[in-house]
Amino acid sequence: MSEVSTLGAFLEQLQRDSRYAGRLVHLRRLPGRRAVYAELDRPLAPAVAQILASQGLERLYRHQVEALQAVLAGHNVVVAAGTAAGKTLCYLLPIAQALQEDRQARALLLYPTKALAQDQLHKLGKFGAGEVFLADAYDGDTPASRRREIRRQVQVVLTNPDMLHLGLLPHHPYWADFLRHLRYVVVDEVHVYRGVFGSHVANVLRRLRRICDYYGSRPQFICSSATIGNPGELCETLTGLPFHVIDQDAAPRGPRFWAFWNPPLAKAGLGRRSANQEAAFLLSRLVRRGIRTLAFTLSRMQAELVLRYTRERLKDCPDLQAKVAPYRGGYLPEERREIERRLFSGELLAVVSTSALELGVDIGGLDAVLMIGFPGDLASLQQQAGRCGRAHQESLAVLVAGPGGIDQYLMEHPEFILEAEHDRALCRPENRFILGAHLLCAAYELPLEPADTVYFGPEMEALADLLAEHDLLDKRRRWYWAQPERYPAAEVGLRSGSGRGYEIVLESPYRLLGTVDETSALWLVHPGAVYLHQGETYVVQRLDLERRLAVVQQKRVNYYTRPVSLSEVHICEQFQERPLPGNALAHLGEIVVESQIVGYRRLEQRREREREILPLQLPTRTFETVGLWLTAGGELHTLAAEGYHVLGALHALEHALIGLLPLFAMCDPHDVGGVSSAHHPDTGAATICLYDGYPGGVGLSEDAYENVESLLEATAERIEKCPCTAGCPACVQSPSCGDNNRPLDKTGAARLARLWLGKQH
């Protein structure tokens, strides 16, 4: 039986089974497309042409030809195309060509994850690495005995931004020869460099350009990206250089089923059944049919839960149970490598993963992908879906809706995914908290001087002076690193906006289980938290903030935990203001947030219902950021006169706006915070405030401010269409609300949104 008929039969069976009626809310089969080829206007070096021929690549796609010719013409190039479009060749060909012309030429390839770098190193072996040129990975897992040899001999080095930041740039004298001859810098999967991570990486790339200039090289940048709305703008922001954009994908694509699966309503007014259980049901059915599947989750906890539920559904078949594995960050290197080996070899039938496997790792033979919850933006969703069908065979992508408003909105509007324009990726390298941290790193590498504003922008000098006032830099004619006993790069975490992470250790027998970044530690490993690892449950006994250590004990429990937080905001400075169609005003400006985790919920694992809320005493986090706030006018009198609960309407609308914001700003709901008040002391009016959850802000509130009318319209529609009676997680409830979702007025929230849009009825 062919794979086409296997997928078709699977979907037909689901549609016929009355037990699952109404869950498959939309199914569409997108047709495949043919490739468009082009010819080079100059021949490749014979050795490079021979490598292509040996792999059966007789022709190049049009976008590959355009990229190669633009690079050879001296441009910095970004190629934006879908998965399996051959973007790798867009940088491997010019690198191989350069190495044929100059054996001293060097190339640095940056990948967001270690798994992707290892996968690409394997591809390089097929492209001549080891024969035509030397290539190797240089990351945290590279043995110390191998590192010196890589620095001195390897022509193509594969690494990640973290290692560039921590291990290469601070020790650039050891890399002097490599940097002196650096010809190309490749930044793969560039669309992931947004928000805090992108803002950090932008400064790392500027530091790289500065060090290269010191050694007399000015490498070209070649970037590859998923299809996003602003690839050129993003790459220019990341590097500070102009880019030639190639965004017309000419690769073939196999037909794909897109399925939208909505868990059924549990009970009236109580939301929907668990998306994790629904996903486990689908995954177990796919595994039983022998359909190789990758299931993506939104968090480490969710990955472990779906794995656990899937294995329970396969308990009658231990052989199949063993063919389902988890993959996520926080595992030890040896654990990750073993799972990768089993996955790439075809030994596993299914893997439940966080976004760690979202990027361009080529997992051959995958026919289906489950996405358990919308990942926050369309680029990530398409990347996840693109993990299957890479051989251009028919494939299946299933979005399993979570309980939140954005997922339910997409169940009602599948065209938002299937037909919408691509969203924009944002980062802000000028964020003063992030830039200041990297100025310290740069000064450690080489003394800063006024001319370095070409890399770090016009704010550099004032910020460097401020750092000197705090004795972190020593200002003479230049700015020097002033604390030789410290290593600034080790104190700057690229992925979380924080520094050194926390270790998670088993109490008895004592051993290291995993790691978690500083920002996430209070959320994931607070005292009493359940930590899931490889399907086993552990309970956090204590969290040592000074030693950055979470001590856990293995314990069989049938619940998991979710933290509860409270926030207050203080408005410092308004940047912009404009009226909404109703009487309300939208404002954008700088705010100070005080946030504290005040407790945690215990939720039953199988039914995923709340069991109890327990209190916590954890430190308050205070930070400056950018926020959007909406101040009400006379429409609150209308609300009160019509019998709505004014504070409940404000509170419910705040939750709903946060839930749908990722449709209008490329982010995750956890990247954004919010508060609501019937009378805010700084505005003197009823106020809803949404804010970037990171010090200094990363552009999310600016996007929300520009799109506030569209956000209000989508939010009102979602609330009005939700079938619950008084509010649920699909419309106005928040799982992390410190006020326990009280008070909430669902219908009042929809009415308020309509009034702010100038609609009286």
246, 280, 310: which is the final residue of a domain?
A: 246
Looking at the structure, tell me whether residues 367 and 391 fall in a common domain: yes
Q: What is the mean pLDDT of residues 583-592?
A: 96
Looking at the structure, tell me whether residues 370 and 399 fall in a common domain: yes
Residue 480: pLDDT band by 50, 70, 90 thresholds?
Answer: very high
First to last CA, the chain: 57
- Per DSSP, the three-state class of 703 is helix
Distance CA 743, CA 731 (A): 14
pLDDT in tens, 34-48: 999 999 998 888 888
Residues of the domain holding 681: 563-756
Looking at the structure, tell me whether residues 460 and 537 fall in a common domain: no
Q: Which helix (H) or strand (E) holds 751?
A: helix 746-756
**How wide is the angle at C-alpha 727 spanned by C-alphas 725 and 732, nearest 5°?**
150
Helix axes 405-412, 646-660, angle to 10 degrees: 70
Looking at the structure, tell me whether residues 572 and 664 fall in a common domain: yes
pLDDT confidence of residue 362: 64
* Domain assignment of residue 175, yes or no: yes
Looking at the structure, tell me whether residues 103 and 214 fall in a common domain: yes
Distance CA 381, CA 200 (A): 23
How many structural domains comprise the chain? 5
Looking at the structure, tell me whether residues 8 and 94 fall in a common domain: no
Pairing mode, if any, of strands 106-110 and 77-80?
unpaired
pLDDT confidence of residue 740: 82
Q: Give how far the C-alpha of residue 8 lies from the chain's centroid of Cα atoms, to the nearest Å.
A: 32
The better pLDDT of the pair 363, 344 is held by 344
* Domain assignment of residue 497, yes or no: no
**How wide is the angle at C-alpha 351 spanned by C-alphas 350 and 354, nearest 5°?**
150
Looking at the structure, tell me whether residues 173 and 133 fall in a common domain: yes
In this structure, is the dihedral angle defined by the CA atoms of residues 471, 474, 478 and 480, taken in order, positive or negative?
negative
Q: How many residues does the chain have?
A: 761
* Domain assignment of residue 318, yes or no: yes
237-246, 263-272, 435-444, 539-548 — which is least confidently predicted? Answer: 263-272
Q: What is the mean pLDDT of residues 736-757?
A: 92
Per the omega criterion (within 30 degrees of 0), is the bond before 509 cis? yes
Q: What is the CATH number of the domain that holds 412?
A: 3.40.50.300
Distance CA 727, CA 651 (A): 12
- Asked if the model's pLDDT at residue 360 lies above 70, the reply is no
pLDDT in tens, 611-649: 899 999 899 999 999 999 999 988 888 999 999 999 999
pLDDT in tens, 675-729: 999 999 999 999 999 999 888 888 889 989 999 999 999 999 999 999 888 888 8
Contact by Cβ (8 Å): 249, 82:
yes
* Domain assignment of residue 501, yes or no: no
Distance CA 58, CA 532 (A): 48
Looking at the structure, tell me whether residues 11 and 90 fall in a common domain: no
Looking at the structure, tell me whether residues 411 and 443 fall in a common domain: no
Looking at the structure, tell me whether residues 87 and 23 fall in a common domain: no
pLDDT confidence of residue 361: 61
* Domain assignment of residue 436, yes or no: yes
Long-range contacts of 468-476 (CB under 8 A, 24+ apart): 472/440, 473/439, 473/440, 473/443, 473/448
pLDDT in tens, 651-665: 999 999 998 988 887
Distance CA 194, CA 277 (A): 31
pLDDT confidence of residue 257: 95
Contact by Cβ (8 Å): 263, 272:
yes
- Asked if the model's pLDDT at residue 387 lies above 80, the reply is yes
pLDDT confidence of residue 268: 52
Residue 306: pLDDT band by 50, 70, 90 thresholds?
Answer: very high
- Asked if the model's pLDDT at residue 5 lies above 70, the reply is no
Q: Give how far the C-alpha of residue 757 lies from the chain's centroid of Cα atoms, to the nearest Å.
A: 32
